[in-house]
Amino acid sequence: MKKTLIKNGTLVTAADTFQADLLIVDGRIAAIGSALPAEGADTVDAAGLYVLPGGIDVHTHLALPFGGTVSSDDFYTGHKAAAFGGTTFHIDFAMQVKGESLHSAVERWNAKASDKAVIDYGYHVGVTDLNEAVLAEIPTLATEGIPSLKLFLAYKNNLQVDDATFFKVLLQAGDNGMLTMVHAENGDVIDILVKDALAKGRLTPEWHALTRPDWAEGEATHRAAAMAAMAGAPLYVVHVTCAKAVDAIAAARAAGQPVMGETCVQYFHFSIDNLRQPDGAKWVCSPPVRTAADQVALWQAVRANHLQHVSTDHCPFFMDGTKDLIYEGQPVRIAGKELGAGDFSKVPNGVPAIENRMPMLWATGVNTGKISLNRLVELCCTNPARIFGLYPQKGTLAVGADADVVLWDPKANHVFSAATHHMRTDYDIYEGWAAPAMPVKVFRRGELLVDGAEWHGRPGSGRWTPRKAHGEVL
């Protein structure tokens, strides 16, 4: 029997903040209370520290083929970075390719993950090629622990589906207690705008944003919500970036529709002005970073519960993939954003953020009074567990829950840098940004992964975790 007693900490859940001890036995939380006995337990003194549930990020892309290359974090390096940022569970996307069954996509992702995983994880399945056989597969995913699907209304001639496909999936998912996720941008309009910009020689990274305007996101969000209403099915809008999309979600929710949404940490902090910098390709992601006014709208949205989760869409690429990066003593070279030098449309879309998410939300949200620490836990831990069928096994500090527990030092005064982060990429969008609060001990199912600067994670120790259908609509 393995026992760990965390004493004298300040426990924080979505609802409460209180002083207590927390006892872990064989990977689960066994007791929470005052002056718990330490007999037979490894004791950790958490005086002056906050004790939070492990973070959950439901939107990541590890080892994803994209734009002529592959995202540079795999299921080991991405998990290491996640843990150092206080995240102990994530959900990645098993992406169907043309002509493939959905189960085959899951098997391909299992091959990427099982020997490398360190934190626990799950999958959504991305549907890109629907036929009758694929449609019939969908209910079996739910019974097998994968109750969420994703479809794209953008990336024409690649990932984009038409409205009929989207509606058929909504109907099938809704009938089986599954949640449909949508990348909401009008891909047809974007395709025309991109071709026009290229023809006119408008090639710099800012045109990535200018050819993917907020109207394209707002329109597609309205359209997706309308189709979900007609299907009588729940909808989850991923990576919301702008006021127009927030307004579409808020209007649907006000009308009683079961529509939810997330934003990503980078959309609070960066704008089209970053794309105009000489190194603007660093911030190329889709949908694009927007404006300062949209940042304000996003903060308002998470306060008002128009958006229920803050994720990352973590999909890192090297800025210069022609050079080696030394990671854990080994050289790594993966083609990156240099593929789009001189042509914004060829820049691999994505940013590194999984390690930054919770520290930066604490720094710019909690420490500035925009959100409370309890709301941070709600947005980053508890809500995603409830929505995606993990609660109460994950996402909270409660007796019987998995002991995914993170001790945070509110006076850590960490500065993010590519020289010290754990993401396998050669830049950090938060280079030089200060994070006053940082994890100092991270437990996944009671196993210590992070101890200060020390890494104890073991490849293959993370578990794929089945999730329940009929998740909550918050």
Q: What is the tally of helices (H) and strands (E) in the chain? A: 13, 23
End-to-end CA distance of the chain: 38
Query: What pLDDT digit, counting tens, does each position of 171-226 carry?
Result: 999 999 999 999 999 999 999 999 999 999 999 999 999 999 999 999 999 999 99
User: Could you tell me if residue 241 is inside a domain?
Assistant: yes
> Structural domain tally of the chain?
2
What is the percentage of the chain residues whose pLDDT exceeds 70?
Answer: 100
- The token duo for 6 is 């965390």
Rounded-to-10 torsion of CA 75, 81, 86, 87: -20
- Give me the phi and psi of 337, to 5 degrees please: -70, -10
Same domain, 48 and 60: no
pLDDT of residue 109: 98
Same domain, 74 and 43: no
- Token look-up 């990066």 returns 325
User: Could you tell me if residue 379 is inside a domain?
Assistant: yes
User: Could you tell me if residue 170 is inside a domain?
Assistant: yes
Distance CA 241, CA 261 (A): 11
Per-residue pLDDT band for 257 (boundaries 50, 70, 90) equals: very high
- Give me the phi and psi of 202, to 5 degrees please: -90, 95
Query: What pLDDT digit, counting tens, does each position of 332-360 carry?
Result: 999 999 999 999 999 999 999 999 999 99
Question: For residue 26, what are the domain limits?
Answer: 3-52+393-412+434-455
Helix (H) or strand (E) holding 375, with range, is helix 373-377
User: Could you tell me if residue 426 is inside a domain?
Assistant: no
pLDDT of residue 314: 98
Same domain, 441 and 311: no
Where does residue 347 fall: left (phi above 0), alpha (psi -120 to 50 degrees), or beta otherwise?
beta
The DSSP line for 203-215 is -STHHHHHTS-HH
Q: Quick one: average pLDDT of 373-379?
A: 98
User: Could you tell me if residue 419 is inside a domain?
Assistant: no
Same domain, 440 and 322: no
Query: What pLDDT digit, counting tens, does each position of 222-231 carry?
Result: 999 999 999 9
Distance CA 211, CA 195 (A): 9
Same domain, 210 and 254: yes
Same domain, 96 and 107: yes
User: Could you tell me if residue 41 is inside a domain?
Assistant: yes
**How many Cα atoms within 13 Å fall on the side-chain side of residue 310?**
30
Q: Quick one: average pLDDT of 110-136?
A: 98
Q: Is 26 exposed, middle or buried (0-12, 13-18, 19+ CB in 10 A)?
A: exposed
**CATH number, domain with residue 9:** 2.30.40.10
- The model's pTM is 0.98
User: Could you tell me if residue 370 is inside a domain?
Assistant: yes
Same domain, 353 and 250: yes
Q: Whole-number mean pLDDT of the chain?
A: 98
State how beta strands 17-25 and 3-12 pair. Answer: antiparallel
- Token look-up 């070279």 returns 333
Same domain, 25 and 144: no
pLDDT of residue 18: 98
User: Could you tell me if residue 465 is inside a domain?
Assistant: no
Query: What pLDDT digit, counting tens, does each position of 311-332 carry?
Result: 999 999 999 999 999 999 999 9
Per-residue pLDDT band for 304 (boundaries 50, 70, 90) equals: very high
pLDDT of residue 301: 98
> What's the longest Cα–Cα distance across the chain?
73
Rounded-to-10 torsion of CA 155, 156, 159, 162: 120
Same domain, 250 and 366: yes
pLDDT of residue 116: 98
Q: Quick one: average pLDDT of 93-116?
A: 98
Same domain, 372 and 403: no
- Token look-up 């622990």 returns 145
Per-residue pLDDT band for 376 (boundaries 50, 70, 90) equals: very high
Distance CA 175, CA 131 (A): 18
pLDDT of residue 291: 98
Closest C-alpha among 308, 445, 472 to residue 389:
472
- Give me the phi and psi of 264, to 5 degrees please: -120, 155
pLDDT of residue 389: 98
List, in order, residues 6 or more apart from 40 with CB less than 8 Å away: 1, 3
Q: Which residues pair with 51 in a beta bridge?
A: 11, 407
Same domain, 439 and 318: no
Query: What pLDDT digit, counting tens, does each position of 40-83 carry?
Result: 999 999 999 999 999 999 999 999 999 899 999 999 999 999 99
Same domain, 23 and 153: no
**CATH number, domain with residue 81:** 3.20.20.140
